[in-house]
Amino acid sequence: MDTPASYPILATRIGKKPLVYLDNAATTQKPARVVECEREFYEKLNSNIHRGAHYLSRLATEEHEKARATVASFLHAASEKEIVFTAGTTAGINLVAQVLALSPLISAGDEILVTTDAHHSNIVPWQMLCQRTGAVLRPIPLTESLEFDMPAYLSMLGNRTRIVAVPYISNALGVINPVPQIIEAAKRNNASTLVLVDGAQSTAHMPVDVQTLGCDFYVFSGHKVYGPTGTGILWGKEELLAQLPPWQGGGEMIKEVSFTGTTYNDLPFKYEAGTPNICGNIVLAEALRYVQEQGLAAIDAHEQMLTHRMFDGLTALGGINILGPKEGRGALLSVVIPGVHHYDLGTLLDQMGIAVRTGHHCCQPLMQYLGITGTTRYSFALYNTADEVDQALACTERALNMLR
């Protein structure tokens, strides 16, 4: 497993304290080779793509489309045509929701099922679709242990279910949702039901094979998988993307334009209007190659060790409510501590060099469901160490002694 030394920013010190970065669910840090890839693009390749006949344009185009191939391989997509570059998970979900609103596939009275633990970006776009079409948004409840309630979900599936949108891993709870079973049940109920998987919290931590999953759409953000901000991927089944209307109009997404009409481009360019984030997409591919070289199985095993170590340590401190069970979770823990505000704990930890995330984590409906205002979240990446977990536990104990 790669070490923190490969990440320049992790040499940062907070006052006299070394940085312990445990905010990876918000964004991961970037290894030196990923940072170098961006510098090299602007020094050696910078040019617009696809439409240029000159040398730099040809080089940039070739590298950009190699990046698309890398993403297709990473996700085990059936075709590179199924890979649409976006600005991130939020952009990908909005793209799907908006083109579905323009299509005949959704009509008044249809139902869209989302999880109670969904991120706002997997709620609000569907609410907007409902406002435009008359469809109805229905939240799938959680069990008492804050896991996906499969019996409740099965009872909600019906002849008006058109879309099921679920996070593979909850960004606020860390719970791994039973996505294969969720997809299978949706398709068994109605083969035409569309299933979107939010992979923002899963893609950097576990292998993904979209063909095996059987979903219709899969989205993720580059900045959560050791890549740059402002990058992301929408994967969609080729036959479905070909059927749906385009999203934005402009250059690249067209074949022919006249004042009497326009002919749209083939996939995936139909959904990539204008100049893309050429550099960002190439750098994202480098980040994915880095993850593949590290090995997702090895990454998962390392992060599970860290997560269990933190879980046991927090439990030993006493008086800390860790949301969700110990097993069946990704590389993050959210905690609620009676009598201690999450922001106060996060502030004290920051002063000790421990970077965590506090607040509602863009999951206000979940916080309302739980009757709380927010949590303190510790989240891990491949570069974190057992020593850092121990430092975070010691600093948490010290902070709690000051706050209680």
pLDDT-based confidence at residue 3 (cuts at 50, 70, 90): confident
pLDDT (average), residues 317-332: 96
Q: What is the enclosing helix (H) or strand (E) of 164?
A: strand 161-167
In this structure, what DSSP letter does residue 71 have? H
Q: Which pLDDT score, from 0 to 100, does residue 322 have?
A: 97
pLDDT (average), residues 316-335: 96
By DSSP bridging, strand 20-21 and strand 354-355 are parallel
- The C-alpha atoms of residue 242 and residue 267 are separated, in whole angstroms, by 7
Tell whether the model's pLDDT for residue 255 goes beyond 90.
no
Q: Which pLDDT score, from 0 to 100, does residue 251 have?
A: 85
* Tens digit of each residue's pLDDT (9 = 90 or more) over 386-398: 999 999 999 999 9
Asked whether the beta carbons of 317 and 24 are under 8 A apart, the reply is no
The rounded mean pLDDT for the chain is 96
For residues 373-403, one letter each, b for 16 or more C-beta atoms within 10 angstroms of the residue's C-beta and e for the rest, the string is: ebbbbbbbbbbbeeebbebbbebbeebbeee
pLDDT-based confidence at residue 2 (cuts at 50, 70, 90): confident
Tell whether the model's pLDDT for residue 316 goes beyond 90.
yes
Tell whether the model's pLDDT for residue 54 goes beyond 80.
yes
Tell whether the model's pLDDT for residue 65 goes beyond 90.
yes
Q: Which pLDDT score, from 0 to 100, does residue 219 have?
A: 98
Q: Which pLDDT score, from 0 to 100, does residue 300 have?
A: 97
Q: Per-residue DSSP letters for 173-234?
A: T-BBP-HHHHHHHHHHH-TT-EEEEE-TTTTTTS---HHHHT-SEEEEEGGGTTS-TT-EEE
Report the residue count for the chain: 404
Q: What percent of the chain has pLDDT above 70? A: 100
User: Can you say whether the dihedral through the CA atoms of 108, 111, 116, 119 is positive or negative?
Assistant: negative
pLDDT (average), residues 79-89: 98
For residues 11-33, one letter each, b for 16 or more C-beta atoms within 10 angstroms of the residue's C-beta and e for the rest, the string is: eeeeeeeebbbbbbbbbbbbbeb
Q: Which pLDDT score, from 0 to 100, does residue 141 have?
A: 97
Angle between helices 386-403 and 342-351 (to 10 degrees): 120
| pTM for the whole structure | 0.96
Q: Which pLDDT score, from 0 to 100, does residue 258 have?
A: 86
Residue 176's nearest CA partner among 185, 167, 184 is 167
Q: Which pLDDT score, from 0 to 100, does residue 4 have?
A: 85
φ and ψ of 85, to 5 deg: -75, 135
Q: Which pLDDT score, from 0 to 100, does residue 252 have?
A: 86
User: What are 84's strand-pairing partners?
Assistant: 234
By DSSP bridging, strand 111-115 and strand 161-167 are parallel
Tell whether the model's pLDDT for residue 52 goes beyond 80.
no
E strand residue ranges, 35-140: 83-86, 111-115, 136-140
* Tens digit of each residue's pLDDT (9 = 90 or more) over 194-216: 999 999 999 999 999 999 999 99
Q: Which pLDDT score, from 0 to 100, does residue 207 have?
A: 95
* Tens digit of each residue's pLDDT (9 = 90 or more) over 110-159: 999 999 999 999 999 999 999 999 999 999 999 999 999 999 999 999 99
Tell whether the model's pLDDT for residue 329 goes beyond 90.
yes
- The C-alpha atoms of residue 84 and residue 62 are separated, in whole angstroms, by 16
Amino acid at 363: C
Tell whether the model's pLDDT for residue 31 goes beyond 90.
yes
> Is 362 an active-site residue?
yes
Given the residues 130, 362, 363, 395, the one annotated as active site: 362
